[in-house]
Amino acid sequence: MKKRYASTWESLKEHQVPQWYEDGKFGIFIHWGLYSVPAFAPQTWELGEVPPDETWFSNNPYAEWYYNSIHVGYGPSYDYHVKKYGKDFKYEQFADMWKAEKWNPAEWARLFKKAGAEYVVLTTKHHDGFCLFPSKYTDYNASKRGPQRDIVGDLTDAVRGENLRMGLYYSGIVDWTFADDPILNNDDLFHTASPTFAYADYAYNQSMELIDRYAPSVFWNDIGWPRQGEHNLPYLLSHYYNTVEDGVVNDRFNDLYYDFTTKEYQSGSANRREKWEMCRGMGLSFGYNAMESDDKIISIEDAISLLVSTVANNGNLLLNIGPRADGTIPEEQEKRLLAIGEWLGVNGEAIYGSRCSSRESIKYTDQIQVHFTERDGALYVLIDAKGKSQVSVTVPGLSGNAVPLDPKVEADTAKIDGGLRFTVKNFGDSQNVAVFRLNRIM
């Protein structure tokens, strides 16, 4: 019998994180839109590395923030815009330059499947207010302008065609078509942005549109929800759960409610007792930044380390790609996705469907860490030895025989000092993380 939710916080709090989200572990975030046309941002810091103040907002590495960056009126993006497009060039003119002429959603979905992703989250409306779906509440959308198609619908169909789950990102509290005072600090971001009841209704109506048109498995709201519309949330979220039985939402609704908490680069909090999700771009930006090259984006080893450490601590990794305006995915991004898919193809047994072990991760050195997951009564030992070709570590309190999941991993294990000593001589096809299954949990 399908559970029905009432539009009350009490009823919503009965919602459990669905099994598919606990099991899925790895998703692909996609930031695609008008900002993909200029595709420019300075390469400065990771979010959280410096305080979110004027220095951050006037040197914003997020290419999807191009509109705000040029409206700040000074800084690298402003200078770039004036030089490349001219002072009088309006951001909205990108709406007729974005053609997505080489876009093949089925190709994207095949790549995400090969990457070993279980879900996808696409921007439907980012802070610039441009909608990638045929909203009836604005003509500033991709079916009327630019690509002249329902980007959200076409990708949703392709992703579901590969049996992956489709999630939708919505910029709830910030929409620069309603309020575009330059954002120069967090107070602007959380308090000044879009202050009207009219906007709160608009955000509510568009969210209902997205739920009713696409029934997304994830409703990924960003930054916050309009304060003037907080009383709408119980209805919106109960409608969401009543429409999408195994739907899931994040924690960016003004700390009023969540299924999972979120981290973003170095920002945000996570504790292993609750379900959480780590999101980041391949480089310093979510939107495509044409300035970013292979050496400036996360290495394959670091991406695999991030996936393993996130999953071992009860999180999911939502790794972002920033496609080009023409619909192609930069090769350096595709290469990372395929490498993660290969690693998961060999070691996925320790990841998909696993649960956080009571054993905490052990950090031997900055390069050498051991993580644990559990699944179906087996304990998995994931030895991450970044940059090393061989490694020897003793894991205390373990016993039993450890079998490498990758047949090409060459390793010995020995009982020593009340623990199990692992000596890995060859990491085979497993990049920097060798995974062992221990058939008895001690």
Q: Tell me the window of 210-218, 264-272, 330-338, 386-394 that interacts with ligand ZX9 (CB under 6 A).
A: 264-272
d(CA 141, CA 53): 31
Of 264, 277, 292, 406, the one binding ligand ZX9 by CB under 6 A: 264
Of 41, 164, 279, 297, the one binding ligand ZX9 by CB under 6 A: 279
Q: Where are the beta strands (DSSP E) in 192-247?
A: 218-222
To 10 degrees, what angle do helices 197-214 and 151-161 make?
40
- Beginning with the edge strand found earlier in the chain, give each strand of the sheet holding 419-426 in spatial order: 391-396, 419-426, 410-416
DSSP 172-202: -S--TTT--PPP-SHHIIIIISS--HHHHHH
Between 254 and 357, whose beta carbon lies closer to ligand ZX9?
254
Q: Tell me the window of 195-203, 263-271, 298-306, 418-426 that interacts with ligand ZX9 (CB under 6 A).
A: 263-271
Comparing every residue's Cβ against ligand ZX9, the nearest one is 268
Between 263 and 275, whose beta carbon lies closer to ligand ZX9?
263
252 touches ligand ZX9 (CB under 6 A): yes
232: its two tokens: 């709408």
Q: Cα-Cα-Cα-Cα dihedral of 280, 284, 285, 288, to 10°?
A: -110
| Cα separations in angstroms, 25 against 61, 277, 429 | 27, 9, 21
Smallest separation (angstroms) from ligand ZX9 to the CB of 287: 7
Smallest separation (angstroms) from ligand ZX9 to the CB of 66: 10
222 touches ligand ZX9 (CB under 6 A): yes
Whether 120 and 164 have beta carbons less than 8 Å apart is answered as: yes
Of 32, 62, 94, 170, the one binding ligand ZX9 by CB under 6 A: 62
Of 64, 180, 292, 342, the one binding ligand ZX9 by CB under 6 A: 64
Residue written as token pair 């998995």: 380
Number of residues binding to ligand ZX9, judged by CB under 6 A: 16
286 touches ligand ZX9 (CB under 6 A): yes
Interface residue list for ligand ZX9 (CB under 6 A): 52, 62, 64-65, 186, 189, 222-223, 252, 262-264, 267-268, 279, 286
